Chains A and B, each alone.
Chain A
């Protein structure tokens, strides 16, 4: 092939290649959530109560233990799983039992949940149970206006009385 047609051919091959690079570096766009939606996230770390109450060791039990380990109370380390429920309007969108971290399940439980919700007014209820025997001992309900593109985070802070809604 002669020089001029060859140059044209090179340009004809390079242009689509560069166009492909330029295009795929930003397009097609990706929608994390739709433009008319808001983001709702539930995120907290919390240590639940122990699964079993402490009990007093009998004298016979204590005698069997090495002298340096004769603690009068036997307190099992395991914690109950956290029970979490998130309700959006009349729909429960999250219902989960979260096991405590650690080999003996004696650590904190971590909860993370993300969902997109249509922008607008919503009744949001979040419940959490951290004690043996079932049931929810922390609850918070609120009706909120969620704007499109906004983000609501539900955190848990016992010092502030339980669930905290942050937007």
Chain B
């Protein structure tokens, strides 16, 4: 039943939004920006309210007269401001109700979204409180009705006991202090609205709090036109000695007050309280059985080569934005097609979207809309990044092979020099994609530090049968040209912490660690740094002399090589076993450390749960493959091998 209601609501919204798309275009459709529009309108209301407050006199004699002055004598500005204040507030209520209804229809209020839903509900009531309170200030016949009706309504509560309304029955009981109190409440509740609004939007990754400028401008012009065409006016000065008969009524804010005079205070409290309770409990009604694993799913995001956790019911876009992935997006409502990406692996619920934005052919070709799709299992997503860390934009470069050194039987150091004497900017830990002639790409991390930007060092391990690495090891020679794109990835050395760092390198995962360490030494980082380099045999430590030299030169650095499969003829006297076992033996409590891990899926798979079990915080784990379970394309683990792929 609930599902049918959701689908019916989705049908209505999608069709109306489709109609608006024809007029406004997909990227400027106001219906895709209901939240930001409500935010913007709040600022319109606040700004116009500040102007009105400058002229408003907080007294029995002055309140109505000062508003009349603004409305009549100063109609060209004060009157317009009053109308903007009124209509802006009405539009806030309308937009918020639409925003809430849309989220309900699209089933985006349950699970982890409960907080946004409940805080949004609190926000709605606060806006209503501010709006209703605002109607008390002009002290006209409507103010009189609202003040008396509010007192009658609140008198139903035991703490007031029926005494409140007597303040508004006799004219002599109303004095200037009432208006100071009403103004104080009006400003105070409005500030509370802004505070809760801030809390409400904090939970949405990269929430937009303003609509696109053309929408804001158009909306403002429309409200101004309405203000001039139908100015908000008072309805005669309040007179507590006379009855209020028929009044103009704001049906956006006051329908409850109409009920109050048809039903009675007790019944209206029952309705409002019951409605609030039901709305607040909606995220849990009816209780939903978990379909996936408790920890949600994981997705491998390319070209970042990052693994991101996705909560059940969370869109791929939100999960990515939450983790700082530079996903392209615009409307976030399946209406503009800006967030189209490729589903390389896995299954998703494609969600509700405008059919034109994702055709059946595109779906068949593996495309999806990140803002609508939710995972049904572990995923692999390919997308076109909009930005990279620090605003360094990725581009295609051409380089020549400057040197080839065989560091180990299966590891080649490739030195590249950019053509035309160009220099590349990147962050230590980032990588590049070598572009093959057939359009295929191979990812390798920069092994040089960013300050050495006139040449690029790569450590490439030969993969048996690998097309690119076989060519590199057998046919590539100095002077050959190759094209690559970069810099890419958001795995890089963070300098916003003083915690000691443990680097975990597996095999050619040493390359990005080398880049980060050389950068750290160059910057003079005083943090304690320990490198654990885990390999099978001694010859796999293809640059072991370098970290040993660093250890001699830098007191804050130490190096621990760990062999997993030494043989007697190796005469290995140092640490053996699995690299994470060695780390845990040395650091049983990792709560005060940061860990940067680069290596194979198997290594990461083993280290991550072991480290977190020993106190390592998620925020202190850094690895492009750190959260990866081998479930993600377990048949092709080289997907996330940063030191080099086939």
Do A and B assemble together? yes
* Chain A interface residues (CB < 8 Å from chain B): 1, 6, 9-10, 12-14, 17-18, 21-22, 24-35, 37-39, 41, 43, 45, 101, 110-112, 114, 148-151, 153, 155, 166-167
Residues of A within 8 A of B152 (CB): 112, 114
Give how many B residues have a beta carbon under 8 Å from the other chain's beta carbons: 45
- Bound-state CA distance A8–B223 (Å) is 18
- CB distance B163 to A32 under 8 Å? no
Query: Please, which residue of chain A has its CB at the minimum distance from the CB of B166?
Result: A43
B545 part of interface (Cβ distance < 8 Å)? no
Out of A14, A30, A149, name the residue touching B242 (CB < 8 Å): A149
- CB distance B165 to A10 under 8 Å? no
B206 part of interface (Cβ distance < 8 Å)? no
Residues of B within 8 A of A39 (CB): 243
- CB distance A112 to B165 under 8 Å? yes
Additional pairs, 17, CB under 8 Å, beyond known A14-B218, A18-B222, A35-B245? A12-B23, A17-B222, A18-B226, A21-B90, A22-B229, A25-B86, A30-B258, A32-B246, A32-B247, A37-B243, A43-B169, A111-B162, A112-B165, A151-B242, A151-B243, A153-B169, A155-B170
- CB distance B161 to A110 under 8 Å? yes
- CB distance A25 to B90 under 8 Å? yes
- CB distance B247 to A29 under 8 Å? yes
Residues of B within 8 A of A14 (CB): 218, 222
Residues of A within 8 A of B244 (CB): 32-33
B25 part of interface (Cβ distance < 8 Å)? yes
- CB distance B249 to A45 under 8 Å? no
Q: Please provide the 9 A-B residue pairs with the shortest distance between their CB atoms, ordered closest to farther.
A: A9-B23, A39-B243, A110-B162, A26-B248, A30-B249, A151-B243, A24-B251, A18-B226, A22-B230
- Bound-state CA distance A48–B244 (Å) is 33
- B229-261 interface (Cβ within 8 A of A): 229-230, 232, 240-252, 254, 258, 261
- Bound-state CA distance A31–B155 (Å) is 22
Out of B145, B169, B240, B250, name the residue touching A32 (CB < 8 Å): B145
- CB distance A41 to B169 under 8 Å? yes
B91 part of interface (Cβ distance < 8 Å)? yes
- CB distance A21 to B226 under 8 Å? yes
B636 part of interface (Cβ distance < 8 Å)? no
Can you show 21 pairs from A to B with CB atoms below 8 A apart? A6-B23, A6-B25, A9-B22, A14-B222, A17-B222, A21-B90, A21-B226, A25-B250, A25-B251, A25-B252, A26-B249, A34-B245, A35-B245, A37-B245, A38-B243, A45-B163, A45-B166, A112-B152, A150-B242, A151-B240, A151-B243
- Bound-state CA distance A15–B462 (Å) is 67
B452 part of interface (Cβ distance < 8 Å)? no
- CB distance A22 to B226 under 8 Å? yes
- Bound-state CA distance A112–B152 (Å) is 9
- B149-173 interface (Cβ within 8 A of A): 152, 155, 161-163, 165-166, 169-170
Residues of B within 8 A of A112 (CB): 152, 155, 162, 165-166
- CB distance A26 to B222 under 8 Å? no
Residues of A within 8 A of B251 (CB): 24-25, 28
Out of A12, A25, A29, A45, name the residue touching B246 (CB < 8 Å): A29
Out of A28, A37, A43, A101, name the residue touching B249 (CB < 8 Å): A28
Query: Please, which residue of chain B has its CB at the minimum distance from the CB of A111?
Result: B162
Distance (whole angstroms) from the CB of B19 to the closest CB of chain A: 8
Residues of A within 8 A of B241 (CB): 151, 167
B97 part of interface (Cβ distance < 8 Å)? no
- CB distance B218 to A10 under 8 Å? yes
Distance (whole angstroms) from the CB of A146 to the closest CB of chain B: 10
Query: Please, which residue of chain A has its CB at the minimum distance from the CB of B239?
Result: A151
Distance (whole angstroms) from the CB of A27 to the closest CB of chain B: 7
Query: Please, which residue of chain A has its CB at the minimum distance from the CB of B23?
Result: A9
Query: Please, which residue of chain B has its CB at the minimum distance from the CB of A28?
Result: B249
- CB distance A1 to B22 under 8 Å? yes
- Bound-state CA distance A66–B250 (Å) is 64
Query: Please, which residue of chain A has its CB at the minimum distance from the CB of B244?
Result: A32
Query: Please, which residue of chain A has its CB at the minimum distance from the CB of B145?
Result: A32
- Bound-state CA distance A18–B230 (Å) is 10
Distance (whole angstroms) from the CB of B16 to the closest CB of chain A: 10
- CB distance B23 to A25 under 8 Å? no
